[in-house]
Amino acid sequence: MTGPHRSRGRRFLLDYGRVDDIPRSKALYRQLLKYHWEYYSEVAFQRAQIYDALRNAVREKATSQFRFEKWQRAVKYRYSLQPLDTTGSLIDPGGRFNVGTIDPSRYAAFPALYLGYDKKTVIDEIFARDNKGALLTEEELALSKTASITVVSVSGMLESVFDLRDKNSLADIVQLVKHFHLSGAVVKEARRLGQSPPKLVRTVGEVVKTLLDPNWRFFPMQWDVPANPQIFGQMVMDAGLEGIVYPSVLTGQPCLAIYPQNFANSASFVEIDDPLPANIVGKRIDASSFVNFI
């Protein structure tokens, strides 16, 4: 509820409520957490039954020998001496295509290295900013951000990636998951709690939409369950692929989520293009060095 507050002739609305509403709100939140866990678990069980088939579908649609030159890597200032380190991607809730420390007792966290085609893209992505309809350019908005960042140029080659820019690559996966269903109990509980009826993806378009959802962070941060793109990222990583190519939802330019943990026994590499300052640790990720970056 809200109520009016006067200050120098102006009216503001401030939140207010009764003290005995607090335990009721906490109880409702616990019920919502339980509902989302049950919702997630039902789908996770069905996914587990066909997980080998899903991984095979991912492998069959992999793109080989993906090369990139002078792409960009942006990190928060605290990681400036280790710009290729993936530690930051593990911070709750993780990245779009990797699971962070949401709840390590239930979901295994795994890192990813995120790159973008140009500086504009990686700056937008690191600030998770959507500039549609704004009067300022992305560069002008970036100047208003107080956080310090470091951007480096990188090049490399990945032996196998899943390219989300090719929507046809998802067709076989959709065929495997389109028959998933939810129990009447979960649907009934959603209605009891005032939630929208849960909906499972049935088409390639719906899968693309959920994987590139600008608000993907909502589920892991609000309900402590991985988001759909994070689940997909785990599937790709478990299939042994070394990355996912996807369009930035902010600029439309290509981005990469790379899994260095899959570089073992591979010719894949990621390398900083320019000469390094004396204190920077690690210029190149490859089969012999990937363990130092994860």
Q: How far apart are alpha carbons 211 and 163 in whole angstroms?
A: 12
Looking at residue 3, its pLDDT comes to: 45
Looking at residue 269, its pLDDT comes to: 98
Looking at residue 289, its pLDDT comes to: 97
pTM for the full predicted model:
0.86
CB 204 within 8 A of CB 69: no
Looking at residue 11, its pLDDT comes to: 54
Token pair belonging to 105: 């007792």
Q: Distance of CA 167 to CAs 17, 56, 137, 212, 251, Å?
A: 48, 17, 30, 12, 18
Looking at residue 23, its pLDDT comes to: 74
* Each residue's pLDDT expressed in tens, for the chain with a length of 294 residues: 334 444 445 554 455 556 566 677 788 889 999 999 999 999 999 999 999 999 999 999 999 999 999 999 999 888 899 999 999 999 999 999 999 999 999 999 999 999 999 999 999 888 865 444 454 554 555 455 667 889 999 999 999 999 999 989 999 999 999 999 999 999 999 999 998 888 899 999 999 999 999 999 999 999 999 999 999 999 999 999 999 999 999 999 999 999 999 999 999 999 999 998 887 889 999 999 999 999
Q: Checking DSSP bridges between strand 243-247 and strand 149-163, what pairing results, if any?
A: parallel
What CA dihedral angle connects 41, 46, 51 and 53, to 10 degrees? -160
Q: Which amino acid is at 13?
A: L
Q: If we measure between CA atoms, which residue out of 232, 228, 227 comes closest to residue 243? A: 232
Region for 95 from its dihedrals, namely left if φ exceeds 0, alpha if ψ lies in -120 to 50, beta otherwise: beta
Looking at residue 126, its pLDDT comes to: 85
Please provide residue 118's backbone torsions phi and psi, each rounded to the nearest 5 degrees: -145, 175
